[in-house]
Each structure stands twice: as C-alpha cells, then as structure tokens.
Structure 1
Amino acid sequence: MRIGYFTNQYPAPSHTFIRREIAALEARGHEVDRYAIRPSAVALKDADDLSEARLTRHLLRAGIVAFLTASLQALFYHPRGLVAAFASALRLARSARNGYVKHLICLGEAILLARWCRDDGIAHLHVHFGTNPAAVAAIAHEISGTPFSFTVHGPEEFDRPEELGLSRKAEKAAFVVAISSFGRSQLMRWIPAKDWQKIHIVPCGIDEDYRREPASEPSTELRLVNIGRLCEQKGQMLLVEAAARLRDAGVAFQLVLVGGGPLKDELERTITRLSLEKTVILAGWLSQDEVRREITRARAMVLPSFAEGLPVVLMETMALMRPAISTYVAGIPELVTPETGWLVPAGDVESLADAMRTALTASEQELARMGMAGRLRVLERHDIAVSAERLEGLFAVSQKTRSPAKRPLPAGATAQAV
C-alpha cells in the first residue's frame, strides 16, 4: 500500500516517534510518502533526521505556482470536491480563534496536498496531531477522496478540543488513534458516542536499536537528566527549584537539561539567580546518539510535566534500564509504575526534590532492579513493529470501506469531477 504521512513540521528533533513509525511500515513492505506543512524550526543534527528531510515535501516550500496550478486543477477536475472543501473549511473555522483567516490558509494548503495525494497514488493519508495538520487533511479529503486518519497525542488537542473541531475531524476521518488509554478517554469526552468505534489505541514505541541495546549497569555518577522542549508544561522551572533545594541541603549532583524552546532564556536567568551554574547544565538540542549517552550517564530521567501525552523519552529511558521520575499526568502512570520509577504530584516541588534525592541515594542493586523492570515493561508494551502492524490493519480496513467512486485513479487516467 502507498501511504502518506503528514504533520505540521517534519522531520523535527522531537518527532523521532514519527520517523520510527514510518520506518516500521516501510519494513512491512509499504511505500510511505512524507509530507509536512513546513520544515523544522530547529536546526537538525541527527543524521536520520537529515536523511528524512531530503525525503519530505513541504507545502510552504512548494511556491505560489504550485498552489495556483493545484487550485486550477481542482476547479477544473473536481469542482464539487472544491465546493465541499470550502464548506468544510468554513465549518471548522466557526469555532476557531482567528478561524476564517487560518482556515482559508488551510484550504489553500489542502488543495495542494490533495493534488500531491492524487498524483502520488496515496491510498491512505495518516496525520500526526489533531491540530492544523488534521484540519488540512480533512479539507483535502473532500477534494481527493483519499481516506485519512490522525493520531492525537495531547495535551494541546485536549486543551482546546472545541476550538480545534476534534469532533468534526473525527467524523470525516476513517479512524482516530490515541496513544494511551488516557488519550482514548479524552477523545471520548469530545467525540460523539456514534464515532467512538473509530478510536483505536496504537502506542508509540521503540525500535530495534533500543531492543538490541545490551544490558548496562547503573550509572555511578550522581547525575540526573531531563530531555524535552524547554516550555512551561514540561515543568523545568520547577525542576530547577527542586535542584536548588537539594543543593542547599548539601546534596552534590548534576542535572542536565537537554533541549531548547521558549523557556531557555528564563531558565538561564533562574540558574544564574540561584547560583546553580555548576549544578544545572543546559545542553541544548543533541543528536539521538548524544541523547542516548546522556541517558546512560544518568541515574534517572526526571520529567516533572504539568501536561503530557505519553512521552517517548520515558520509553527510551526505560529501555536503556534507567528509572524515571515523573508525574501523575495523562498516560504517564500507564508506563511508569512503582517498580520502574517514582511518580509525584504535578507541581509539588517538595515531592519532586524528595524523589530526586531518593534516586541519587539509591543503591546500585535497587537501580538495577528498577532498570530491568522498566526495560521489560517497555519491550512488552511499546514495540514499534507491533504498532505498525496495528496501523497496517486499520489502513487496510479504510480501503475496504472506501467508496468505489473515490478510489485512487489508475496511472495515466484522466481525472474526473467528484
């Protein structure tokens, strides 16, 4: 089957889970075309990301001529589809902030995406994130007839579900993917009960590189690591405060923050104000190999998020036999258990500092036991090959239920109005 994958930015340092999913589908014999609205706003360092960038077509890099040509083609060959797409954009716009301008832009993007899907013979288009990319795909579906689905990660989709028109997108989609039971429950809050049968849990996962990783001994360094975008919802400001409390209590350790984002400057100022320059290190964005080294050098991963989906970095950490410190948020308790790490109430700096102290003072035997339990849990529940097989089955069903009038055109055929 020829499958299209579409999202807002691709590739991006934080989207390795999409890359793994694509690779796993290709390993099962499918052809996958990569589409995105725009390239990553962050400079790419990882060799795999650089390779993916060469394979990805970006709508906003196509140029005005491509948009005009696609619009004329849609007007000539698919006038009814174009009218339906315009109506779909207006319906999505009614509930959105600055909706009409935004969704007219989405309409233009959808017209070009629909042409790409037609020209490339895409049998199914899968979208990551229920935000703008899902809107573009839903509108494009009216023109191309290509079945589409989308994966909802959270928390953004659950912060403003009505504004994003989640229920309308789900109505048009062949199916909707949640990455955890929590995610499925949140979708059920906002999608009508008649469409609940469309919701399927397909977790993100780790690939063979992590499955083949040999067992490693716990780190002897008094070191913790946090990996993620530097933003309010990830809780790094609280993490720095907890680090200051431990330092003031006489605990000697290092905390490494890997990533970049809008909170970087404020974190730097806070670290300076609290005289934590020797304790807290801002490492910036790193390649996947460098991230792996940082995880294995640490005694534990610390992710004190206020809002989440189900972080892939926790899966990677546990696969590398390192315990996790995180919060009772979203899908995290489905992965991190008392046997594999420590969960604390979100926003509770005292509990966070206590968990960090426990990880730093735990015996090597305790860390090894928790590390092995975490690795076994991830290998059992988050194998990307298994997830790809589930998606493959869902893609196949979308073809069986597809209207014959909207099946892909054979090569060389003349397009007809739909």
Structure 2
Amino acid sequence: MKLAYLMNTYPVTSGTFIRREIAAIEQTGVPVTRFAVRRWTEALVDPLDQAEQARTRYLLSGNAAGLVLAMLAELLTRPHRVARALPAWAGLWRAGGGFVRHVAYLMQAAALRRQTAAAGITHVHCHFCTNAAAVAMLSRLMGGPAYSFTVHGPDELVNLPAQGIAAKIANAAAVIAITRYCQGRLREHVSADLWPRIHIVHCGLKLEDFPDTAGNPRGETLVCVGRLCPQKGQVHIPAAVAAVRGRFPGLRVILIGDGESRAAIEAEVARHGVGDMVALAGWKSNAEVRAAIADARALLLPSYAEGLPIVIMEAFALRRPALSTTIAGIPELVDAECGWLVPPGDHDALVAALADAMAASPERLAAMGAEGRARVEARHDLAAIAPRLVSLFTAA
C-alpha cells in the first residue's frame, strides 16, 4: 500500500492531531504523501506545522492553471472515466454549494487522480467528510485510488445530506467515526448493510510528548484552549469568573487561541470587571500549550459544539481534570471521575462547576487526574491507534 492523506486546508494551528496521526502512521513504516486543497492563510506558530506545510502538495492554492490542464487531460485521454464520475458529481451539486464550487471539485479530483497515479498511491485518506472527501470520491470514480475518511463533527454533522454523505459512504472503502455519537449520526443516513463500513477509531496523542511527570493539579489557574469562536462558548467565562470572585479571588483563567469572538470576549471581560483574572494569550506552540496545561489546576472548555476535543485528551495526559459540556462525544470521555460536565450555555451550572473545581481538595484533584491519564492511555494512544488505521487502509 502507498498511502496519501488529503485535507481541505492543511496544516492549521487547530489541526495538530492530523499531523500527529500522520507521524504515527509513518512510524509504523508506511510513508504518507500529504495533499491539501488549499494552504492556510494565517501564520503558523508551531515549527512542526511550518515544516509540514513545506511537505504538502496543494491542489488549488497556486495551481489554477494546473487544475485546468489536469481536467483537459482527463477529458481528452479518459473521457469514459470522467463520465463515470458525473452522476455522483451531479448529486453533490444538487445537494447544495453552487455550480462553480462543484466544478472546482471535479477539477481537483482530476488533478488528484493524475498526481496519485504518477506517485503510485493506492489509498487516500481524508479528514472530515466535507470538501476533501468529495474530491477523493470523484477521483476514485474517475479511476483513482480507493479512499476513506474520518468524520469528527461538529460542523460537518449539522446537515449531512448537504454533504452528500450517503454517496461518500457508499463509494468509500472505509469510514471512520471518532466517537459512538458520530457513528450513530452517520448510520442515520445509510442503509444497514453499509453500517459495518463505519468504524470507530478514536483520535489520539503521541504519549511520548506527554510524559507522566506533570505531578498533581495545583494552583488557582484554569486554561481554556481553542479558537475564539461562538461554538467554543468562551464568551461565558468572564461572567462565571465574576460570580465566584468573592470566594476565589486568586482565580485566573488563561485563554489560548484567537478568532472572531475575541472582541466579544474582551467586552465581557470589561463588563464584568475581571481584566485582572481573565487573560487572552493568543495562539501558542504545542510545547507552550502543554506547559500551560501542566501549570494549571484544570482545563476549561464550555463549548456548544465539538466532536471530541483533543485538548481534553491532552489535559488528561497531563493529569489535569476537565470542565466541559454535555455535548456530542465529550461524555464518552469525561464524567465525574475525571472532571465536570455542564449543559452548554447554563450560567448557573458553569458557576457551580467552576466553584467545585476551585474548592476541590488536592487529593480529589489527584484522583481525577489519575483517572484521566488512565483513560487516555487506554483509549487515545497513537502508538496503538496508528497500526489499526494502517490495517483498515490495507484491508480497504
């Protein structure tokens, strides 16, 4: 098997888990060729992401002429194969997204088919069931390599029919869901005879990057890691901090990340007068994120929409409990033994959980941290996950 990974935009600051997964697969002895539709336009902070960008082949970014030539070449030399892809292409177009976008998908598929053929690629794996999976499916129908894709959520699960999910699953060699919740959502859209094609394989960590030496949770700092956006719910943090300020005047919350909600969060910080307690630190490198979590008492992630956040796994690997919400796959990893779960957007529940986290004894925090570490070692170790992925790809 010669393997390629195809992503829509890669690498991105919030996509470290994909880079880690690729590296783990290569450690099994299977080289991976990286493809992406487009280059991320924001600055990459981590040196490993910067190096990964240099290794990635881009179908669209800086390659408009190449796409046109690839499409013309396929039409001239393999018109019957292009015709075979047209019914599926028309189905994607009818599902939504606009004619021009779907013409671009077809052109990207032609370029991918030709580049994978030249490289001898036999299998393409995509992350997310959106654009990249559409391109991989069309490439397959045009005579390209078999493909599979991993579905995470939350955005891609909002309107699965508009993603053409039934056709993507039907034509895929394998589909990977990262949680039971995700698997169930996918099964709703295909017949039962296709259910065995949908496997649960968790995302994971390279545990060597998280040595079990962080010690027990300590201090009065909580860390929130993620893009600053409405889905992550960080805008609720200042009000919750203000509500417990009298009991825990030493509380500090550090928000690592950036995004469109920054101004709204800053306004809430000012409105509640907690500028001395809530700090917006911007994006940090992977090493800086690990250090911040290791120095914290717990992770705080009051999200409205998630799949299963990698940062919770990172916190658990560092023996830090997590305070998060009862959505999607999060309850499959987090419960009262290793953290706190609250309904998203519930101010009173968030305040109560925040107060409980701050009041927890060192012994209780240590027990929660130990349970989190044990769960990550059992379920989210890339050293065990990567061979399973390779086995699925090879069988496919």
TM-score bracket for this pair, using the shorter chain length: over 0.9
Who is 1:102 aligned against? 101
- The code of the aligned residue for 1:137 comes to A
Say which SS state the counterpart of residue 14 (structure 2) adopts.
Answer: coil
Residue 5 of structure 1 aligns with which residue? 5
Query: Is 1:223–1:360's contact at 8 Å kept on the other side of the alignment?
Result: no
The superposition leaves residues 140-159 of structure 1 with CA deviations (integer Å, 9 ceiling, x where unpaired) of 11123310011000111211
Q: Within 5 Å, which residues of 2 pair with 1:1-400?
A: 1-96=1-96, 98-219=97-218, 221-247=219-245, 251-398=249-396
Q: CA deviation at 1:211?
A: 4.8
User: In structure 2, what is the equivalent of residue 414 of structure 1?
Assistant: none
Q: Which amino acid aligns with 1:105?
A: A
Shift of 1:84: 2.2
Q: Which moved more, 1:194-203 or 1:101-110?
A: 101-110
Cα offset, 1:357, TM superposition: 1.2
1:44-79 Cα shifts (integer Å, max 9, x gaps): 111111111111011223423311321232123321
Structure 1: which 5+ runs fail to align? 399-418
The amino acid across from 2:254 in the alignment is V
Structure 2, unpaired ranges of 5+: none
The percent of aligned pairs where both chains have the same amino acid is: 43
Q: Deviation at 1:249?
A: 5.6
Work out the CA distance in 2 between the residues paired with 1:197 and 1:168: 16
Alpha-carbon distance between aligned partners in 1 of 2:162 and 2:274, rounded to the nearest angstrom:
41
**In 1: Cα distance, 2:313 partner to 2:115 partner:** 34
Q: Distance in 1 between matches of 2:24 and 2:122?
A: 18
Across the aligned residues of Structure 1 and Structure 2, the Cα RMSD in angstroms comes to: 1.5
Residues 44 and 50 in structure 1, CA contact (< 8 A), matched pair in contact too:
yes
User: Match for 1:90: what amino acid?
Assistant: A
- The alpha carbon displacement at 1:250 in A equals 5.7
Calculate the TM-score normalised by the size of structure 2: 0.96
SS in 1 for 2:68: helix
Please say if residues 151 and 178 of structure 1, whose CA atoms lie closer than 8 Å, have aligned partners that are also in contact.
Answer: yes
Distance 1:195 1:331 in 2: 22
1 CA distance for matches of 2:258 and 2:84?
A: 41
State the AA in 2 paired with 1:377. R
Query: Which whole-Å deviations, capped at 9, do the CAs of 1:1-54 have from their partners, x for residues lacking one?
Result: 311101111111111111111111101111100111112233111111111111
Tell me how many residue pairs correspond in the alignment. 396
SS of aligned partner of 2:336: coil
Letter in 2 for 1:391: L
In the TM superposition, what is the alpha-carbon distance from 1:233 to its structure 2 partner? 1.3
Partner of 1:404: none
Give the drift of 1:341: 0.8
Greater shift after overlay, 290-299 or 240-249?
A: 240-249
Contact 2:257–2:282 under 8 Å retained in 1: yes
- CA offsets, 1:191-235, max 9 Å, x none? 22221111000100010334534241322x211111011111111
Letter in 2 for 1:292: R
In the aligned structure 1, how far is the partner of 2:67 from the partner of 2:183?
A: 36
Q: Which amino acid aligns with 1:379?
A: E
What is the DSSP-based 3-state SS (H/G/I as helix, E as strand, rest coil) of the residue aligned with 1:15? helix
Give yes or no for contact 2:223–2:292 (8 Å, CA) kept in 1.
yes
Read off the aligned partner of 2:359 and give its amino acid letter: T
AA aligned opposite 2:140: H
> Does the CA-based 8 Å contact 1:115-1:144 persist in structure 2?
no
Secondary structure of 1:4's counterpart equals strand
Q: Is the 8 A contact 2:257 2:283 kept in 1?
A: yes
